[in-house]
Amino acid sequence: MKKILVTGSSGLIGSEVSVFFASQGWQVHGVDNNQRAVFFGPQGDTRWNQQRLAEKLGSSFVHHEMDIRNRAGVLELLKTIKPDAIVHTAAQPSHDRAAAIPFDDFDTNAVGTLNLLEAVRQACPEAPFAHMSTNKVYGDKPNSIKLKELETRWDYDDALYADGIKEDFSIDQSKHSLFGASKVAADVMVQEYGRYFGIPTCCLRGGCLTGPNHTGVELHGFLSYLVKCNLEGKEYKIFGYKGKQVRDNIHSHDVAAFISAFIDAPRVAEVYNIGGGRDNSCSILEAFKIAEKYSGKEQHYAYLDDNRIGDHICYISDLSKMRAHYPGWDITVSLDETIRQIVVANLDRR
């Protein structure tokens, strides 16, 4: 039986990957220590998802309570398991939170990734390594693209970006947030271990990764948190840009499916912008309307003029490289269906 090691296995993408590969007959070794609850408080707790995996996957899932900052522990774990593939989703995920905890942020995102890469080099260098990076590696450089203001959203006013942002977009000379900087360090290191040591690696520069099993909080988890506010009648805060800022949203199942495609046919030191693309893009104002349609409740919100530091006004992923390299993969879950599932899942958990 093939073995896969998934870090951040209690998070949104980690849990989706765990379920996906278990359904394909893999033995899943999940690494998680509920650090999200430390970063965000009780509302960020993911133990419920760990329990869900244990109940759903049974003997196909083995949980390892470990912090990826534990260098010796990570090395020993990989030498013991010798996984056939590694999916690294563990991270401090909030660019707002990073400024308050800079050492925790960098040690988790950058040093933790290095710990895993070196352990892979020593224990299983032929195993594909898929790393969940972020579109925040581009900093606020996307805001330099010429934009046009429409009724409910901002959009690109440059034909070069009609299909979104490609992987050759600059990550240099821009403001990233400390989170973005720590993820740049990890992203470049994942590429370097691929090029320098020949390890099959890829960096997946995610747009808004979402789905029904997301534990969204105000500082991270756009659609999940928005739906939670809607259902609870809680005020949602819009930070600047008239609420017309745009994100492309990809369901966690489609992320897991792409990771599976990469592991089946790995490449060395690749980079992919993984998001929902133009068809799955929406502004905050547009997301309100879709959430209201499925919840039957009005969205309450407050508007603040100050935007978040390093925030993107409009970000849409160009998926052409992913589709060219892996033509059997494509987006399968629409934005409407994604939000509907998030509404239903939140109601079920309540």
pLDDT in tens, 247-259: 999 999 999 999 9
pLDDT-derived band of residue 268, with 50, 70 and 90 as boundaries?
A: very high
pLDDT given for residue 43 in this prediction: 84
Angle (nearest 5°) at CA 90 between 84 and 94: 155
Alpha helical stretches, state H, the chain: 12-23, 35-40, 47-57, 71-81, 95-98, 102-106, 112-123, 177-197, 222-232, 252-264, 284-295, 320-325, 335-349
pLDDT-derived band of residue 44, with 50, 70 and 90 as boundaries?
A: confident
Domains of the chain, start order: 3-349 (3.40.50.720)
pLDDT given for residue 195 in this prediction: 98
Is residue 216 scored above 90 in pLDDT? no
pLDDT given for residue 349 in this prediction: 82
Amino acid at 276: G
pLDDT-derived band of residue 134, with 50, 70 and 90 as boundaries?
A: very high
* Measured distance CA(12)–CA(303) in Å, rounded: 28
What mean pLDDT is reported for the chain?
96
pLDDT in tens, 92-112: 988 789 999 999 999 999 999
Is residue 149 scored above 80 in pLDDT? yes
Is residue 283 scored above 80 in pLDDT? yes
